[in-house]
Amino acid sequence: MTQPALPYDPLGIAVDLIRCPSVTPADAGALAVLERYLAPLGFTCERMRFSAEGTPDIDNLYARLGSGQPHFCFAGHTDVVPVGEASAWTVDPFAADVKAGRLYGRGAADMKSAIAAFVAAAQRVAVDGFQGSISLLITGDEEGPGINGTKKMLERLAARGETIDHCLVGEPTCVERLGDTIKVGRRGSINGWLTVTGTQGHVAYPQLADNPVPTLLEMLRRLDAHLLDEGTDHFQPSNLEVTTVDVGNTATNVIPGSARATVNIRFNDLHTGASLDKWMRCVLDTVTAEMGGSYTFKTSVSGEAFITEPGAFSALIAEAAKEVTGITPELSTTGGTSDARFIRAHAPVVEFGLTNQTMHKADENAGVDDIARLADIYETVLRGYFAGRAGA
């Protein structure tokens, strides 16, 4: 295959990636595209394939240039969410059309363009030479279960003694304009599935039944009414949301035998998944003691809250963004979870990428100029990093 021409064009790389319909768990050739650009620069490209019972096998890519320290890692994902309602798109989601200065396609914002920008930036730095290592940790499982991707890749690196000094994740962090937001942490997330069991019966004879619905509603009222906290210096207040309530009763004259609900809590660093599980069960036990009945409750923590304390590394990225865009970024912890939740146990991690206004939407797109400027920002970050301006 013909070697890509130098210097690398981030738009061209993004187009190549978007034309791979890599909806989780499919790779669809996306990792091969990256290998085609990275291998000629001297990157050692290693496929990491992981599997687990009940989950799809996932192909991942770890590519590293250099073997010394400091080790700068860029983390991201080539998998994308499904197209959704195809008729809502005005373009082919995987054609990577450029119209009116914007690149359209699934993954344009989240986050194939950011990966392309980093590859272009790495090429510029590699040509000039540097002391240390640059790597890319690219998964195909970020939009999926998150089981056979970044977490297992990091575990494999750790098992063989390979360490990362700092990591930049290319998620779309900016809100209105490129450069306005850097993520230095994320809130945690815990889901809870609650089932209250009673006794089914005829509505005309309530004394012969035990209606679980009032008990469930009181449980949800108390959970929802509780003020978890008022936020911290770096985090907004934690919030509990009731996401489903379901009885499944199609009859108007039957008291149901069970009622179910699901809740989600997005929480800051004042809490842990375990502490919130304990609190919710205490509330449920109290209501059950007062009103009777029984319940089952299962929780799952998709990520704990974390923060990379603002310092030299976040300042390096903020300064690079301001130098290119003229905007001073806000340091934020808002938004959902990302694979940074796995990386934070291995290295200081900060997230910075394009605007997130169209991610996961029909006609997802990114500005062509923004993609070019993001490559400039990443290049500035890399040069500053290897000059020692991040404590590297």
Cα dihedral sign for 78, 122, 133, 306? negative
The answer to whether 168 and 72 are in contact (CB under 8 A) is: yes
Helix (H, G, I), strand (E, B) or coil at 76: strand
The single residue listed with the structure tokens 């009940």 is 54
H-type alpha helices, 197-325: 212-225, 273-291, 312-325
Q: Given 142, 364, 370, 379, which residue is catalytic?
A: 142
Q: Is 142 tagged catalytic?
A: yes
- Rounded CA gap, 311 and 70, in Å? 17
The answer to whether 142 and 47 are in contact (CB under 8 A) is: no
* Distance (Å) of CA 258 to CA 200, 207, 218, 250, 307: 8, 17, 15, 13, 40
For residue 280, what is the DSSP state? H
Pairing, β 258-267 against β 239-246: antiparallel
Task: Give yes or no for a cis peptide into 93 (omega within 30° of 0).
Answer: no
- Rounded CA gap, 353 and 102, in Å? 16
Q: Given 16, 27, 59, 79, which residue is catalytic?
A: 79
- Rounded CA gap, 341 and 187, in Å? 9
Residues annotated catalytic, as ranges: 79, 142
